[in-house]
Structure 1
Amino acid sequence: MSAFAYMDGRIDPPSSAHRLTLESLAQKAKDEICFLATDEDALIGCIFCRPEPPSFLYVGKLAVSSSAQGKGAGRALLAKAEEEATQRQLPSLRLETRIELIENHKRFASYGFRKSADRSHPGYDRVTFIEMIKDLQPVNG
Structure 2
Amino acid sequence: MAWIIATRVAGHPLPFFSPAAALNVLTQARGRRIRRTAEVVLGVLVAELVVQALGPCTTSTVLVVVLLTVTPAVAVGASSVSTVQATLCALYLAVVSPPNETLVPGRFVDALIGGVVALVTSQVLNVRRPLVPLAGH
TM-score, normalised relative to structure 2: 0.28
Between 1 and 2, higher relative CO (CA 8 Å, sep ≥ 6) is seen in 2
Higher strand proportion (structure 1 or 2): 1
TM-score, normalised relative to structure 1: 0.27
> Which has the greater radius of gyration?
2
Higher helix proportion (structure 1 or 2): 2
